[in-house]
Structure formats: C-alpha cells, structure tokens
Amino acid sequence: MPTLGIQELLIILLIVFFVFGAKRLPELGKGIGSAIKNFKGAINQKEEKELQENKEKENS
C-alpha cells in the first residue's frame, strides 16, 4: 500500500483550501476534532463497560 509523502499531503491541503475556502477551514477543523473526540469517548466507554462486566463475572 503506497504511503503519502509531504508533497502529496501539501497538494491535498491546497485542494481542500480551494474547495472550502479560508473561512470554512476552521469550521471543518472543529468538526473533525469533535468527531475524533466523540469517537475516542465512545471507544473508552465501551472498554470501561467491558472491564466492569468482566469484573462482575469474576466476582460472581
């Protein structure tokens, strides 16, 4: 699987800049950041729930 180098990433960033414009880039960043935060939170909640269930099974 090919990897993305610096040049490819810069080209992608330029395309995103031209498509969305300078005013919408901060909004996109906030949206992506909150989505990642929510995703991590959901994963952590699932792991904590599984740990609690395993502890309850061991104590039973």
Domain that holds residue 47: 34-60
Task: Give the count of domains, the chain.
Answer: 1
Residue 60 has pLDDT above 80, yes or no: no
Q: Is the residue at 24 inside a domain?
A: no
Q: Is the residue at 53 inside a domain?
A: yes
Q: Give the pLDDT band (50/70/90) at residue 1.
A: low
- Amino acid present at 22: A
φ, ψ at 5 (rounded to 5°): -95, -175
- Quick one: pLDDT at residue 20? 85
Q: Is the residue at 56 inside a domain?
A: yes
- Quick one: pLDDT at residue 56? 84
**What is the average per-residue pLDDT within 41-58?**
88
**What is the average per-residue pLDDT within 2-17?**
89
Q: Is the residue at 7 inside a domain?
A: no
From residue 50, how far is each of 3, 17, 32, 38, 45 by CA, in Å? Answer: 35, 42, 27, 18, 9
Of the candidates 11, 38, 16, 14, which has an alpha carbon nearest to the alpha carbon of residue 28? 16
Q: Is the residue at 26 inside a domain?
A: no
